[in-house]
Amino acid sequence: MRIGDAKHNYEADEAIFSSSTQKIWFALFLLALLIFPFMADAYLMYLGCLVGIAVISTTGLNILTGFTGLISLGQAGFMGVGGYTVAWLSMNTGLPFPVTLLLAGLLAAAVGILVGLPSLRVKGLYLAIATLAASVFLHFIFAEWESVTGGMGGLSLEPAHLFGLTFQTDFAMYFIIVPLAILMVLAAKNVFRTRIGRAFIAIRDRDISAEILGINLLHYKLMSFALSSFYAGVAGGLFAYFFRVVTPESFPLSMSIFYLAAVIVGGMGNLLGGILGAAFMTLIPEVLKLLTAALTPFYPNAPIFMSPMLEIIFGALIVGFLIFEPHGLAEIWHRIRRFFSLWPFRN
């Protein structure tokens, strides 16, 4: 039985895993992720990959919005930069996927820095509109720079490849997407154990106080934008390799809202929240569809009446979460953990 977590030094307080129980659960989780592709059918495999991509992008946005307090509606645009970079590079240079993904992340980060420039002067809703404008601008470039982006028709690309191996199926892509998602979440976790991450949090909590403490606001805000956009760029690159086609319509504004909603529903400023939010937002519509499937044998017209209802139920679920659990899914998870940590003394 484990009761509470007593920390005896700073290292223990900063540790990624606060107890051996956590390490065991994490190892089991990794094992489950490893076994999953061998057990899952094509549909679950597809959803697994989609959740992996969503986790990377949501984690990126969480760094910016959840930890640095800079709201952004440009995530889809940054993902688009990553997606087009990968598509163009793979079509024109034949570089292997680790290189194209890295370059996609770096180019998206560079664009993120440019978009983040107004963040020193504006914040909150004003910054949201500035990033929205950037998103629209990027969409315009995707649609009109035909010689590079293929215009509205977009680009089709070859499967990801490395050392003669071709990653054509969802099964193969899973082994790129999921390890990368784990690595990038762990990397993000590490960022918040450093001076940089603490500066982000200080800026979020009170930027004027942070500046008085000697934190260079422009420097760190731009760094946060760069880091967040890097994640988006890599997620966009994976998106391109996964779907093997990118068009301007692959990265609509609604996608930015989707990721922002995932951060809020999961729990802002909490990496676990980003993961849970991404999984929730991706999977719940599919789970709701099972409702329709269950009704169809009894009522053949169920899909026609239920489909619009599912959109409403999905929206209501999000609103319900925000009202009853404003700290998101991560808080529910922490409550469950606390229950087991303290049991049987308090529940």
Partner 1 sequence: MFKSILNKSRRLAGIGSIAAVLLAAAPAMAQDKEPIVFGGSIPLSGVFAFAGVHIHAGLTDYTSWINSQGGINGHPVEYVMEDTGYEVDRSVAAFKKITGSNKVPVYYGDSTGFMKTIASELNSRGTTLMSGASFATALTDNEQYLYQFIPGPNYTQMLGIILEYIATQGKDGDMPTVAFVYSDTEFGKDPIENAKAKAAEMGIEVVEDIVTKPGSVDVSAEILKLRRVRPDFVVFHGYVLSPINEFMVQMRQMGLDTQFMGTFWSSDKLIINKMGADADGYMGVMPYNYYDSAEGGPMLDALRAVAQKSDPDAGYRPTGYMQGWFNAMVWTEVIKRTMDAGKELTAENMAESLASIKDWDTGGIIGIPVSVQDMSFPVGRIWRVNAKEERYEPVSDWIHLD
Which chain residues interact with partner 1 by CB under 8 A?
41-43, 45-47, 50, 143, 151-154, 156, 159, 168-170, 243-245, 247-250, 285-286, 289, 292, 300, 303-304, 306-308, 310-311
CB neighbourhood size of 47 (10 A): 16
User: What's 343's DSSP letter?
Assistant: T
Beta carbon of residue 272, minimum distance to partner 1 (angstroms, whole number): 24
- The backbone torsions φ and ψ at residue 69, rounded to the nearest 5 degrees and listed phi first, read 75, 20
Q: State which residue, 220 or 242, has the beta carbon closest to partner 1.
A: 242
Beta carbon of residue 50, minimum distance to partner 1 (angstroms, whole number): 6
Alpha-carbon distance of 32 to 283, in angstroms, equals 18
CB neighbourhood size of 18 (10 A): 13
Alpha-carbon distance of 2 to 25, in angstroms, equals 14
The pair of three-digit structure tokens given for residue 209, joined into one six-digit string: 């106080």
Q: State which residue, 102 or 288, has the beta carbon closest to partner 1.
A: 288
Q: State which residue, 54 or 182, has the beta carbon closest to partner 1.
A: 54
Distance of CA 14 to the CA centre of its chain: 24
Q: State which residue, 77 or 154, has the beta carbon closest to partner 1.
A: 154
Cα distances (Å, whole numbers) of residue 216 to 128, 193, 200, 265, 296: 22, 18, 11, 31, 59
Alpha-carbon distance of 94 to 272, in angstroms, equals 36
Q: State which residue, 13 or 249, has the beta carbon closest to partner 1.
A: 249
Q: State which residue, 42 or 257, has the beta carbon closest to partner 1.
A: 42
The pair of three-digit structure tokens given for residue 45, joined into one six-digit string: 């495999």
Beta carbon of residue 239, minimum distance to partner 1 (angstroms, whole number): 9
Alpha-carbon distance of 63 to 69, in angstroms, equals 9
Reading phi first (left if > 0) and then psi (alpha if -120 to 50, else beta), residue 154 is in left
Q: Which of 276, 293, 221 is nearest to 29 (CA)?
A: 276
Beta carbon of residue 156, minimum distance to partner 1 (angstroms, whole number): 7
Beta carbon of residue 52, minimum distance to partner 1 (angstroms, whole number): 13
Beta carbon of residue 310, minimum distance to partner 1 (angstroms, whole number): 7
Beta carbon of residue 169, minimum distance to partner 1 (angstroms, whole number): 8
The pair of three-digit structure tokens given for residue 163, joined into one six-digit string: 């050392």
Q: State which residue, 254 or 347, has the beta carbon closest to partner 1.
A: 254
Q: State which residue, 123 or 161, has the beta carbon closest to partner 1.
A: 161
The pair of three-digit structure tokens given for residue 160, joined into one six-digit string: 């990801």
Beta carbon of residue 289, minimum distance to partner 1 (angstroms, whole number): 6
Alpha-carbon distance of 139 to 78, in angstroms, equals 10
